[in-house]
Structure 1
Amino acid sequence: MGAGALWGLVFLAPELARAFTPLQLTVGRYLAYGVISGVLIAPRWKSLVAVITGREWRALCWLALTGNTLYYIFLSSAVQTGGIAMTSLVIGFLPVAVTLIGSRAHGAVPVVKLLPSLLLCAGGAVCIGWQALAVPAQSPVAQLVGLLCAVGALISWTIYAVGNRHWLEKLGTVSAQDWNLLTGVVTGGQALLLIPIALVLDRTHHDVSAWMQFASVSIGVAVVASIIGNALWNRMSRLLPLTLVGQMILFETLFALIYGFVWEQRLPTVLEAAAFVLICAGVISCISAHRTQVEPH
């Protein structure tokens, strides 16, 4: 829940720094994430490098790409071309995808017991995007491109969630926070490679105050969402089965909705309220299925 509450704040970042493109926001966030991670992990760097092999470094590069860099680029592109509602609808199926993959693990809760939770989750995702999807698209081509980008983001973060859980289980000698900081260092390196692209694609002149605001938002999101939020997520990933980990992603959606209502100073619509109720019911149903699984007979 804590990770979801902090991750939900990321959706306010584009509003707080509207003068900058999503790619610039991505570079700013993850560059700050990398620098802060490097500073925090520096005292333990030698001991960590001693236990991290080339295989783990390759895994970190892949996880940083799928869970951070590539995911955020796909997500930003989907929002720009296809709209927030359509993107939210597709990304809302993340818990379904991760839970279905987790159900294949040995000793996992059967899909049949998780079906009510999955249906409630899917219903909440549909409610989130239904209103805006009813509005005719400005460009069918743009809508298709946005849909493909949203599906790419869905696949990318699903791969990250499953892969990250696998490596956290495998590397018992590395703490959840150190694994997060190592991911941050690698993500920061990838952000450096994106700087030339971000500068070429947008040559808009920004004054000093705009850059200061950009830096504040980037550092704030990096600390709150990436450093603290990811640390909570990694810790949770080691404590809960993957079928339940998938459902925990819903808290990001819940808190993003709450922050959105506060930012816009309005109450939720009927469909938004329905989505809120369905998502909560889905999480409760999933927890109930797992409690039944461990009760003694």
Structure 2
Amino acid sequence: MLSGFLFALAAGLMWGLVFVTPLLLPEYPAAMLVAGRYLAFGLLAVPLALIDRRELRRLTRADWRDAVRLSAIGNFLYYLALAAAIQRAGGPLPTMIIGTLPVVIAVCSNRRNAARDGHYRWRDLAPALLLIAAGIGCVNQVEQASLAPQAMGRYLQGAALAIVALACWTWYPIRNADWLRTHTDRSPRAWATAQGLVTLPMAALAFALLAVADGVGLPLLPSGFDFPAGPRVWPYVGLMAAVGLFASWLGTLCWNEASQRLPTALVGQLIVFETLAALSYSQMHRGAWPPALGVAGVLLLVGGVCWALRLKPVAPGSGANPGAGPGTASARIAE
């Protein structure tokens, strides 16, 4: 439980980088950020694949198809929607919507995975979810109050894109955990590397499509954009390399390690660390301390996570239903 918690914390700290990157590179459209990030991820995965070549040879065609699906939805589509949402609506609104992930994933996985992981009784889980929801509400109340006036149409576009990102990132950890929990003899590091390898041709294809669009004048890039590296070459290359290494490969590795150690309903709540990291990095970018309500929100979020960590799931096959009340002590087991 402790090691799974620490791995999830590390993943959240690294994943928070993806929220501040569009703010650091406002001149770059979302498509360029996605293509650059996953080109870096794919290139980094190539030498890592040499280290894990024995494990990678064990993957079947079905495993590689799963890796492609996970990368296409949980990497490409998710970050395309998120980066576009941040550039249209600013950082606070997408962070608010993505911040509901702990609640959404817990609700989606608690009954779905009860036969495999056991389940948390809703009456036991509810206080943790309420604390997390209250904390997110406080933090985002502060964030919304600081929003600059924007055109309503563009703001609503950002909200819609953030909801698409939420759907992608709800699906990804649940399905990724399905694979990891049914392949406990496989290396989480090799699985992260496999997902990186399949992003390489996807990123190359994305750059090819952008090049064609730029050549024929399709409006996929801003007018006068200096393709392929844009107006600030080295900041773009450096940030893409950093995000590709830390947020994509190392963050995925840490999350895979956590997913093998913790029930899906619990590990889903620990995505709250990504929200906390994103808000912290945004405050650093602004150069301002959060107000008291923001600090209170952080404390509520941490309190909700700590509450969830002390819970133990009801054993699979114990006869209790996910909505049932407390049972005997023997019906509750640690993962």
Identity across aligned pairs (percent)? 32
Is 1:214 aligned to 2:273, yes or no? no
**Distance (whole Å) between structure 2 residues aligned to residue 136 and residue 223 of structure 1:** 32
Is 1:152 aligned to 2:164, yes or no? yes
1:141 Cα deviation (Å)? Answer: 2.8
Question: Do the aligned residues in 2 keep the contact of 1:100 with 1:111 (CA within 8 Å)?
Answer: no
Residue 188 of structure 1 is aligned with which of 178, 196, 200? 200
> Residues 82 and 258 of structure 1: is their aligned pair in 2 closer, same or farther, counting only changes over 3 Å?
closer
Please identify, of 146-155 and 190-199, the stretch whose mean Cα deviation from structure 2 is larger.
190-199
Query: Which protein has the larger Cα radius of gyration, Structure 1 or Structure 2?
Result: 2
Question: Do the aligned residues in 1 keep the contact of 2:29 with 2:84 (CA within 8 Å)?
Answer: no
Please identify, of 62-71 and 142-151, the stretch whose mean Cα deviation from structure 2 is larger.
142-151
> Residues 48 and 208 of structure 1: is their aligned pair in 2 closer, same or farther, counting only changes over 3 Å?
closer
Is 1:226 aligned to 2:285, yes or no? no
Gaps of 5+ in 1: none
Residue 30 of structure 2 is aligned with which of 22, 26, 45? 22
1:102 Cα deviation (Å)? Answer: 2.3
Matches within 5 A, 1:268-283: 268-283=290-305
Is 1:118 aligned to 2:118, yes or no? no
1:62 Cα deviation (Å)? Answer: 0.9
**Distance (whole Å) between structure 2 residues aligned to residue 112 and residue 180 of structure 1:** 35
Residue 141 of structure 2 is aligned with which of 90, 107, 130? 130
**Distance (whole Å) between structure 2 residues aligned to residue 257 and residue 160 of structure 1:** 22
1:31 Cα deviation (Å)? Answer: 0.5
Please identify, of 222-231 and 31-40, the stretch whose mean Cα deviation from structure 2 is larger.
222-231
1:95 Cα deviation (Å)? Answer: 0.7
Q: 1:288: which partner in 2?
A: 310
Q: 1:179: which partner in 2?
A: 191
Q: How many residues are treated as equivalent by the alignment?
A: 294
Question: Do the aligned residues in 1 keep the contact of 2:134 with 2:300 (CA within 8 Å)?
Answer: yes
Is 1:241 aligned to 2:241, yes or no? no
1:43 Cα deviation (Å)? Answer: 4.5
Question: Do the aligned residues in 2 keep the contact of 1:121 with 1:278 (CA within 8 Å)?
Answer: yes
> Residues 268 and 208 of structure 1: is their aligned pair in 2 closer, same or farther, counting only changes over 3 Å?
closer
Q: 2:17: which partner in 1?
A: 9
Q: Which AA in structure 2 matches 1:223?
A: L
Q: Which AA in structure 1 matches 2:76?
A: T
Q: 2:322: which partner in 1?
A: none
Q: 1:204: which partner in 2?
A: 225
Residue 179 of structure 2 is aligned with which of 153, 167, 170? 167
The two structures have a TM-score, normalised by structure 2, of 0.80
Q: 2:71: which partner in 1?
A: 64
Q: Which AA in structure 2 matches 1:238?
A: Q
Output one character per residue of 1:190-209: Cα deviation in whole Å (capped at 9) or x when no partner. 22221134443225127898
Please identify, of 114-123 and 9-18, the stretch whose mean Cα deviation from structure 2 is larger.
9-18
1:81 Cα deviation (Å)? Answer: 2.4
Give the helix-richer structure, 1 or 2: 1
Output one character per residue of 1:117-142: Cα deviation in whole Å (capped at 9) or x when no partner. 11111122222322454569633332
